[in-house]
Amino acid sequence: MSDTYVEGNFLGLPESGSGIEVVVLPLPYELTTSYGQGTADGPAACIAASGQVELFDSDLNTDLPAGASIYTAPAWEGKGGNLKAQLDELGSYLSPWCKGDVFPLALGGEHGILPPFIWALKQHPAIAGDLSALTVVQIDAHADLRSDLDGEPFSHACAAARTLDMGVGRLLQVGIRAFSKQEAEWIAEDQRITTYFAKETQSPSSHDASWSSWLGELATLTGPVHLTIDIDGLDGSLVPATGTPVPGGLSFWQAIETIQAVFRAPKAMVISADVNEIATHEHSPITEFTAAMLAAKTIACHINAKDEGRWTTSAKPSGTQRNGLQCTYFSEQTSANNQ
């Protein structure tokens, strides 16, 4: 715990408010969760649990924030009366933090936050309007490649599919163990998608070779990368409160190794990340604590990448008052239900 613990800030860290290098963005978004409830409370619970995370990071060999300025932004407050209006609000909220001068880490909220995040990243200097340059690395139990869920194409169950629609060039998935026949066929056919199924990475007979192959794949990443961590990618025993916990998932250390490998890829630059589907359970804090540890490791790995020259920025870090773009992308989509 920080010596000068500040309630409501990630890791309890005090902040200067200027020269921000990492921003934590709480997105209590919940509109389409199919099974459990409580992802709206998840980000605040994760931030509260982060006060119990050790600040010492063994990769950095020092305490967080390790000299970096980490700012916890006021949480997004949804006002839109329907799903597409809320997605536009999320895009507008994220936009000021996606200009390349800071590392944005969002805490969700449903996985439906991913498409608005990708929309906001389009302006990032490393992408410059061309999302085909971007690789999304996804930890998840679900492929999230459905065309729609109950008629809703912007459901959390469709998050990865929508990012491909938006033009994302490559999608790498791990932990996947719950998917439809249609999703399996899409994965097999689409050259943009590389999926490491939990059946292979977790099975006693194949896990060593499969896991080495996954880490090898990550080492070859090039260009800008967004890391999206749906905590249900981890084994359900580690995240029992999440909306749809699934057995047979990644171990905690496999999630950590994945985060480390993405940030250590010599030719890639991780420009942004999210940890999503965080929810609470009255009898156990393990879900939000697991999420807080993954978020803390993500920040530590970003600082490490920056120290080692794998983070470049042309913009000078500035303060909390900033302008962003107004998102209307989602309201303009005609295919979705206007519920």
| Least separation in angstroms between CB 46 and Mn ion | 16
230 near Mn ion (CB under 5 A): yes
Which residues touch 321 (CB under 8 Å, ≥6 apart)? none
Selected range binding Mn ion among 98-106, 108-116, 166-174, 266-274, rule: CB under 5 A: 108-116
| Least separation in angstroms between CB 200 and Mn ion | 19
- Radius of gyration of the chain from Cα atoms? 18
| Least separation in angstroms between CB 159 and Mn ion | 6
Selected range binding Mn ion among 86-94, 103-111, 215-223, 264-272, rule: CB under 5 A: 103-111
30 near Mn ion (CB under 5 A): no
User: For residues 96 and 108, which CB has a smaller minimum distance to Mn ion in the complex?
Assistant: 108
Contact status, residue 320 vs residue 72, Cβ threshold 8 Å: no
CA distances to 34, 188, 264 from 158, in Å: 12, 17, 29
Q: Which residues pair with 107 in a beta bridge?
A: 26, 275
User: For residues 86 and 244, which CB has a smaller minimum distance to Mn ion in the complex?
Assistant: 244
Give the separation between CA 11 and CA 201, rounded to whole angstroms.
Answer: 32
| Least separation in angstroms between CB 199 and Mn ion | 18
Count CA atoms closer than 13 A to 142's CA, side-chain side. 26
User: For residues 102 and 159, which CB has a smaller minimum distance to Mn ion in the complex?
Assistant: 159
- Out of 21, 57, 101, 140, which residue is the one contacting Mn ion (CB under 5 A)? 140
User: For residues 89 and 230, which CB has a smaller minimum distance to Mn ion in the complex?
Assistant: 230
76 phi/psi in degrees, rounded to 5: -60, 135
Which residues touch 222 (CB under 8 Å, ≥6 apart)? 135, 265, 267, 268
| Least separation in angstroms between CB 174 and Mn ion | 12
Selected range binding Mn ion among 115-123, 143-151, 250-258, 260-268, rule: CB under 5 A: 143-151
Closest CA to 184 of 142, 212, 216, 215: 142
Residues 69-88 that bind Mn ion (CB under 5 A): none
| Least separation in angstroms between CB 202 and Mn ion | 18
| Least separation in angstroms between CB 130 and Mn ion | 25
Q: Token pair of 120, please? A: 């906001």
Selected range binding Mn ion among 43-51, 140-148, 283-291, 318-326, rule: CB under 5 A: 140-148
111 near Mn ion (CB under 5 A): yes
Give the separation between CA 282 and CA 285, rounded to whole angstroms.
Answer: 8
Size of the site for Mn ion (CB under 5 A): 5
Contact status, residue 133 vs residue 169, Cβ threshold 8 Å: yes
Which residues would be at the binding site for Mn ion (CB under 5 A)? 111, 140, 142, 144, 230
